[in-house]
Chain A
Amino acid sequence: MNIEKDIKTLIVKKPLRLDCGKTIKDFPIAYETYGSLNSKKDNAILVFHALTGDQFVTGLNPITKKDGWWSYAVGPNKAIDTNKYFVICSNVIGGCMGSYGPSHKNSDNNSILGTNFPVITINDIVNAQYNLLEHFGIDKLFSITGGSMGGMQVLQFISNFPDKSKTVIPIATTSSHSAQNIAFNELGRQAITADSNWNDGNYSSNNTSPGKGLAVARMAAHITYLSKKGLQEKFGRKLQEREDLKFGFDADFQIESYLRYQGSVFVDRFDANSYLYITRAMDYFDLTKQFKGNLSDAFKHTKAKFFIISFTSDWLYPTQENKDIVIALNSIGADVGFVEIESDKGHDSFLLDVPDFLNAIKNFLDKSYIEN
């Protein structure tokens, strides 16, 4: 697998001072684009990916050979229409799809950075990605959007760069990671670090990786992305290729088999240290605290048009947390629309074929672009 030839990278020369106090420079940001930038350069949409996403938003992901993570929403004639808009997405720093992350090598020797990689934040992530605007010569984006951790980046980006996007679409997200969110992430991190193959993060040196731990982390997280009703309807108590219970600890139930499968395919494409770093960045995210308890202050300098979307069955980033962002925006008279989409697909709804959701995004973008 020749990863390099499929991954476009921008080497950021400018030093970036991270929230942890360290400074990084000459680091790579891996990105992908879809559609084309028009001559006025006013049709660019920056998409931010979630925890386990990458820059390959749509079409075939050349590395995993699977569909891009937002294939339902992004593409020609889709909700985010790449015939009209120029879509940019980059792998977050800390990630494992080409951007600067813990699987990168030390400059002085050949060992991987592992836990020597600095702890990063959502703020660091968007500050790094901001360099893409300069790279493409884009003065102002038409829109920024993303779900889950992608939504956190959306909020942080517009707070940091208030006049750099005309429209802003945070989806199924929060302005402050809740205790429950942190708890689930900690469960995943503990599963990874409890795997003896993790070896304090230095696993690549002996060609073993904490696959079991990472798979358990993924399994636990995956449950949080679905709803109880969705799980019940899809799996119920159906048995996996057997007539009756086997009185053992094999995967008797379809749900067990499904989760094991989700865990195993995840391990093939994701780095355990990246999982630690990115979940940490999410846990540290508290935009309200950044503005001393007043979330509205995060947005007081922007004239952007906001459209916030949540899902009825999302219990990980529930409607109320999305509404808190709406309330903060309304209290300063910002231009903000909000809709809660009916779906029993849980937090994952934003990644799936949910027509009301996709129509809402399409209508919002296309109408806003005409008014542009």
Chain B
Amino acid sequence: MKNEFKVIADLIEKNRKVLDVGCADGVLMKYLKDNKNIDIRGLEISKDKVQECIAKGLTVIEGNAEKDLKQFPNKSFDYVILSQTLQAFLNPELVLNELLRVGKKAIVTIPNFGYWKVRFHLLFKGTMPITKALPDEWYSTPNLHMCTIKDFVYFVKSRDIKIFKSLALNNLNTSLINKNNLTIKNFFADLGIFLIEK
């Protein structure tokens, strides 16, 4: 299981109720279910991925986060997870609001466009950056609204969303982001993980 998922799993206490939005093949869901006794649900847009989740014995709903989160009542999950998908929505702000409505807390991870490799790629090669976290060419990427860790922090603050924990990931290293090191983390982390609440 990738490091990002381990970090997410560590943020969640045992025996909670969790919704994984864009749960893909359900690797994180399965881990949470088996290791933390989490009552876990998934929402996934791809039919093939939904089938993979069913094969793992996971409860998953085929659907689109931009339309289908509205069926869940307010604060019906302890945590709602959104892993590296926020940038792919037509309206990320709307989805973020829905996550925070449905979940008591939300865990959102973003591929950091401020990562030095991304910056250098654009600066020196002059073409759209391709990195481990951003593997697709400009013409085939699902990403519509790329942001940096700094962008995301400014964004949630301006909307009175509370950040409980911000983590920077670089390969296997995880570190805390705070006010003082934001600029540095925004340069060295390829992934940001945020535990937020509204």
Contacts and interface: CB of A to CB of B under 8 A. Distances in A.
Contact of A337 (B17, B61, B71, B76): B61
Interface in A308-349: 326-327, 330-333, 335-342
Interface string A12-23: 000000000000
A337 B47 contact: no
B57 A339 contact: no
A330 B61 contact: yes
Interface stretch (A133-141, A281-289, A355-363): A355-363
A108 to B, nearest CB: 54
Contacts of A336: 59, 61
A205 interface: no
Given A330-B61, A336-B61, A340-B62, A360 B76 contact: no
A370 B60 contact: no
Chain B binding surface, main DSSP class: mixed
Contact of B71 (A326, A335, A340): A326
Given A330-B71, A331-B72, A356-B51, A337 B57 contact: no
Nearest to A370: B57
A307 B76 CA distance: 20
Interface residues of A, number: 25
B73 interface: yes
A360 B17 CA distance: 24
A331 B73 contact: yes
B88 interface: no
Contacts of A340: 47, 62
A305 interface: yes
Nearest to B44: A339
B129 interface: no
Interface residues of B, number: 19
Contacts of A326: 61, 71
B71 A339 contact: no
Nearest to A356: B51
B73 A368 contact: no
A253 interface: no
Nearest to B53: A337
A151 to B, nearest CB: 17
Contacts of B176: none
Interface string A249-283: 00000000000000000000000000000000000
B50 interface: yes
A130 interface: no
Contact of A338 (B17, B51, B62, B72): B62
Contact of B63 (A333, A338, A342): A338
B54 interface: yes
B1 interface: no
Contacts of B62: 338-340
Contacts of A337: 54, 58-61
Interface in B96-136: none
B56 interface: yes
Contacts of B47: 339-342, 356
A367 interface: yes
A90 B41 CA distance: 34
Contact of B57 (A331, A356, A359, A371): A371
Interface in B32-60: 41, 47, 50-51, 54-60
Question: In this complex, which of B17, B56, B58, B59 has the most chain A Cβ atoms within 10 angstroms of its Cβ?
Answer: B59
A333 B73 contact: yes
Interface string B6-35: 000000000001000000000000000000
Question: In this complex, which of B47, B61, B63, B73 has the most chain A Cβ atoms within 10 angstroms of its Cβ?
Answer: B61
Given A330-B72, A333-B76, 4 more contacts: A330-B61, A330-B73, A338-B61, A340-B47
Which 10 A-B pairs rank lowest in CB-CB distance, beginning with the nearest?
Answer: A367-B57, A327-B71, A338-B61, A363-B55, A337-B59, A330-B71, A363-B54, A339-B62, A339-B50, A360-B54
